[in-house]
Amino acid sequence: MSLQELFMPQDNTSDDASNVIDLPKSYRKTVSWSPKLGDIAPNITCQSTHGRIDFHTWAEGMWTVVCSYPLKRAGVSDTELVGMEMQRGEFEERGAQVLGITPCGLNTNINWLAEVGELFNTSIKTPLVCDERGEICSAMGAQHENAPFEPTVRKTMIFDPAMRLRWVSEYPSNVGRSVEEILRVLDALQLFDTQELGTPMDWIAGEPAIVPPTVSTATARKKYGDSVNEVTPRIRTVIPLKK
């Protein structure tokens, strides 16, 4: 079944300023989408600082990091934008791209990017989706009515090239997210996809990983040689193969 066949297109005859959120048929029959690992991303067609974006067309085939930003930025979001930009090369090395979503109109987003770029002497290339009515933030579960400071939280979601949700995190609006952690999780997800290895607490790329219980020590040694270390029958570490 193709990606398009999973979705029930909505009426797209509305004006260009509106957002269109196509949910998979199975979600539409029950409740609004609540992001869960393994779910396929809704197709969001919306205005952004890089023109109108059709999310599936834009993101399919790439690792995609989606970040929601609150309305009341208080400087925290500025640092996140700059941090993402400073690590742009790291994302690109991993075949990943970043998309921001804000509960703001197009002009507000354009002015914000210009202001932050001038303040930090850089050019912010991350597209920002314009969600002035909060439809997208609501659909992706980024609005929490009882959250302190304001309801739109800092939600981060990583989608793989097949458009499946692989990681979700939520920070309150007054706490900036960790760009290094996003990169670390990308490395761990990609390591699992390529070598089917788990990653221990605080793991970073290049460090020993964990042989999963579905793989015997003998099989692991055939693939990884003497780098396999059986700490206990349950804990077996290995140095991942180089890309």
* pLDDT per residue as tens digits for the range 217-233: 999 999 888 899 999 98
Spatial distance between the Cα atoms of 165 and 154, rounded to a whole number of angstroms: 17
Q: What is the pLDDT of residues 16-40, one digit of tens each?
A: 566 766 656 655 444 456 788 999 9
Q: Compute CA distances 96 → 10, 39, 154, 157, whole Å.
A: 29, 19, 19, 12
- The whole-number pLDDT of residue 122 equals 92
Nearest Cα to Cα of residue 177 among 109, 96, 79: 79
How far is Cα 135 from Cα 6, in angstroms, rounded to an integer?
A: 21
**pLDDT grade, residue 56 (50/70/90)?**
very high
Count CB-CB contacts under 10 A for residue 199. Answer: 20
pLDDT digits (tens, 9 = 90+) for 148-181: 777 788 999 999 999 999 999 999 988 999 999 9
Q: Is the pLDDT of residue 186 over 60?
A: yes
pLDDT > 80? residue 205: yes
Q: Which domains does the chain have, with CATH numbers?
A: 4-177 (3.40.30.10), 196-238 (no CATH)
List pLDDT tens digits, range 103-152: 999 999 999 999 999 999 999 999 999 998 888 888 888 888 877 777 78
If we measure between CA atoms, which residue out of 136, 135, 137 comes closest to residue 153?
137
- Model pLDDT, residue 11: 55
* pLDDT confidence of residue 64: 97
Tokens 């770029």 belong to which residue? 117
Taking only the tens place, the pLDDT of each residue in 187-198 is 999 999 999 999
Q: What distance separates the 2 farthest-apart alpha carbons in the chain?
A: 62
pTM for the predicted model, two decimal places? 0.84
